[in-house]
Structure 1
């Protein structure tokens, strides 16, 4: 009988990490993730207003002048409308996006769940008189309430459909009429259920969730939280697990809350203060997770033919922050020689970028831009054309990674060359 081969540390660790695999397909978590990703065009459209109105005309210290200050004020006021429609109704867009994603995953036609979710949320987030001001929770303050309402509404709808608790119509009735009657009973239960909780029981759902999250969001937006999350993100990638999908499920709502808060602060003429946004992560992972663009450049200059090919395959996508060719082609995955610097660089970039923000050396991000833009240009746009952001981007994309990747590259190149030379030595001579 053949002896069982003993597993190495990487194999054992990979087996343990498989516990996380179901998270990627868990319907509710995956739908929340997809919902936030799906409404990114809305945020980017709203951010275009900030890019236009906050375009610098004069950056003299203490007397900064922006385009919105010099153009016709009626035009400037009109330009704020798309911003208010997007960021001012952010929770609604998240609500609809998550409802659509979860309905599809649960095998439901999304149309009626979206209608009932919207009706329910409007009741839950109905204006309340708080300190003399109306609070509707339609902007970023209601994001987590939107998640709760979307998930609960879809699940209640599915509960009724799965158990045939609906009005059936005879054959021959047009599908549109049939579907309308099918949705009647579950829809009524959903809408009146939320109404009863909100108005009969007088439970301020949105206010309660906002109160709880007003303590959680700041705690999850600290340096320690960011450093742990980003380092864990890098570690997952070295195990072959998509780090963005994993931490994004938990942190995307918090990143979005912080970005929206910064955008609204700028719109009100205030200084943005939240550091940890999804846009801040562009300092952490420029060129892709692990900031591997310098490694791709080193590979291009390598004596190894294999590494040279991988370098050319990885350098062009890396310019646009896509680095799977390097992560899996080098490989970084299950390769301690490259995995360790991959994790170290992520931690150092997080620390340096956070320190720069803490010392007010760079503006916090408040504009959403396509993440595939080259890093220095991306950071210029995300910070309202703060040139210091481009300098910081160069430091985190080339300086820090370039220093850390060099010895790792030389060590890995040596191992690859030894294998290539060994293959040449054992190759049979041509006849």
Structure 2
């Protein structure tokens, strides 16, 4: 069997595997959970702005007077926390409505009623104290799992009633707004009384049970081993043409958000953040984009191959802002073991170095959600609460480790590309 045949068969096998796996990760419920968490970014960043302002360092000592908060008028520093409280303090409510909206859209439903009924369900099940005018529980990150479950179940129950036509139909000529409201009456009653039966009559505290699950899952999914496996798997998926970040995010977004919220809460209470594996921590892992391909882009610009030089120049500028699809697809990294193996190895090493450095106290854990398109050293300086050591670690994971590993891979791939280009020229000449 010729080398060309073997290579073609391997690529075909990988393509078949990618096609089989892709529908799994685009399944409506999983995709809606992913999209719901992604939609939280504006709220997280706005809440983080409070920390950026109040925790801005005026000196580099472990002293409360070194932060800007201590020098602002009390009516400003005190009331700014209100903005924080209505972002991170109500995170589960926002996640609930966002997932319900995304799933309703994917199911072809008008999102208004599913979102409203999801909110109704959450108050009944998770925070019944609010009905009596008391302070509610599970409004912040502690209710994330509950929000996910209630949003999905409520939308699916509503969809069942609509699909089976178990609704009140109004005569023709009735305005659509009134007709839709009456059509939603029976599903609303079924959802409301159903959750009432579960929570109050059967006394099944779903929120507390899921909170305990979250309490067990988050620490287990936040260990070095879990982070290393997840990030290595995410890199492997990219080499198969599957969006690795979004794929692992389906399962890990609740963990990342819970860890970030725990760190934010600790800082707000004057304590040190302790959770390491947040979505923001991943900027140490994938600086310049997955696989940390910015050094590879620089190498490409010096290549003897004209095609690789063009790819390199196309990839540098987006790569500075953590967008590396021109390199991933243009090199390509996908279906290319010469570049795919370093891509995976760099991700594993970056995860290891960043996690160990953070756990050893050499760099502060992340607790500020910043715009991910900022250049990595600046982004990590910001997300670690202005820890200058994060700049050094970001440079190591963006340039030093990838620069060393990408160079021999670049030379090997350049040689193969040049060989193919030379063969092509000879074939044309003949």
State if a TM-score over 0.5 links the two structures.
yes
Match of 1:81 in 2: 82
Match of 2:389 in 1: 388
| Matched ranges for 1:243-392 at <5 A | 243-392=244-393
Q: How far apart, CA to CA, are the structure 2 residues paired with 1:107 and 1:411?
A: 49
Q: How far apart, CA to CA, are the structure 1 residues paired with 2:61 and 2:27?
A: 51
Q: How far apart, CA to CA, are the structure 2 residues paired with 1:60 and 1:175?
A: 63
Q: CA deviation at 1:108?
A: 0.8
Match of 2:61 in 1: 60
Match of 2:149 in 1: 148
Is the 1:56–1:64 contact (alpha carbons within 8 Å) kept by the matching residues of 2? no
Given the superposition, is the C-alpha separation of residues 64 and 350 from structure 1 closer, same or farther in structure 2, using an over 3 Å criterion?
farther
Match of 2:139 in 1: 138
| Matched ranges for 1:419-430 at <5 A | 419-428=420-429
Is the 2:109–2:159 contact (alpha carbons within 8 Å) kept by the matching residues of 1? yes
Q: CA deviation at 1:184?
A: 0.5
Specify every segment of 5 or more residues in structure 1 that has no aligned partner in the other structure, as ranges.
Answer: none
SS of the residue corresponding to residue 170 of structure 1 reads: coil
SS of the residue corresponding to residue 58 of structure 2 reads: strand
Q: How far apart, CA to CA, are the structure 1 residues paired with 2:379 and 2:187?
A: 46
SS of the residue corresponding to residue 75 of structure 1 reads: helix
Q: CA deviation at 1:127?
A: 5.5
TM-score normalised over the length of structure 2? 0.95
Q: Structure 1 stretches (4+) deviating beyond 6 angstroms?
A: none
The Cα offsets for residues 312-358 of structure 1, whole Å up to 9 and x where unpaired, read as 11111101111111011101111111111100000000000001111
Q: CA deviation at 1:22?
A: 1.1
1:215 and 2:203 matched: no
Q: How far apart, CA to CA, are the structure 2 residues paired with 1:121 and 1:387?
A: 42
Q: CA deviation at 1:39?
A: 1.7
Residue correspondences, number: 423
Match of 1:413 in 2: 414
Given the superposition, is the C-alpha separation of residues 135 and 289 from structure 1 closer, same or farther in structure 2, using an over 3 Å criterion?
same
Q: How far apart, CA to CA, are the structure 1 residues paired with 2:422 and 2:110?
A: 59
Q: How far apart, CA to CA, are the structure 1 residues paired with 2:123 and 2:64?
A: 42
Q: How far apart, CA to CA, are the structure 2 residues paired with 1:126 and 1:285?
A: 38
Q: CA deviation at 1:10?
A: 3.9
Q: How far apart, CA to CA, are the structure 2 residues paired with 1:11 and 1:64?
A: 62
1:178 and 2:212 matched: no
1:224 and 2:225 matched: yes
Q: How far apart, CA to CA, are the structure 2 residues paired with 1:250 and 1:177?
A: 39
Q: How far apart, CA to CA, are the structure 2 residues paired with 1:163 and 1:225?
A: 43
Match of 1:236 in 2: 237
Given the superposition, is the C-alpha separation of residues 135 and 207 from structure 1 closer, same or farther in structure 2, using an over 3 Å criterion?
farther
Is the 2:380–2:394 contact (alpha carbons within 8 Å) kept by the matching residues of 1? yes
Is the 1:23–1:30 contact (alpha carbons within 8 Å) kept by the matching residues of 2? no
SS of the residue corresponding to residue 332 of structure 1 reads: coil
The Cα offsets for residues 348-405 of structure 1, whole Å up to 9 and x where unpaired, read as 0000000111110111111111111111111111111111111110100000000000
Given the superposition, is the C-alpha separation of residues 85 and 308 from structure 1 closer, same or farther in structure 2, using an over 3 Å criterion?
same
Match of 1:125 in 2: 126
Which shifted more, 73-82 or 284-293? Answer: 73-82
Q: How far apart, CA to CA, are the structure 2 residues paired with 1:127 and 1:113?
A: 20
Is the 2:90–2:140 contact (alpha carbons within 8 Å) kept by the matching residues of 1? yes
Specify every segment of 5 or more residues in structure 2 that has no aligned partner in the other structure, as ranges.
Answer: none
Which shifted more, 59-68 or 238-247? Answer: 59-68
Is the 2:288–2:323 contact (alpha carbons within 8 Å) kept by the matching residues of 1? yes
Q: CA deviation at 1:422?
A: 2.5
Q: CA deviation at 1:6?
A: 9.1
Is the 1:127–1:134 contact (alpha carbons within 8 Å) kept by the matching residues of 2? no
Q: CA deviation at 1:64?
A: 6.4
The Cα offsets for residues 77-123 of structure 1, whole Å up to 9 and x where unpaired, read as 10000100000000000000001000111111111111111111011
Q: CA deviation at 1:134?
A: 6.3
Q: How far apart, CA to CA, are the structure 2 residues paired with 1:13 and 1:326?
A: 20
Q: How far apart, CA to CA, are the structure 2 residues paired with 1:178 and 1:61?
A: 62
Match of 2:160 in 1: 159
TM-score normalised over the length of structure 1? 0.95
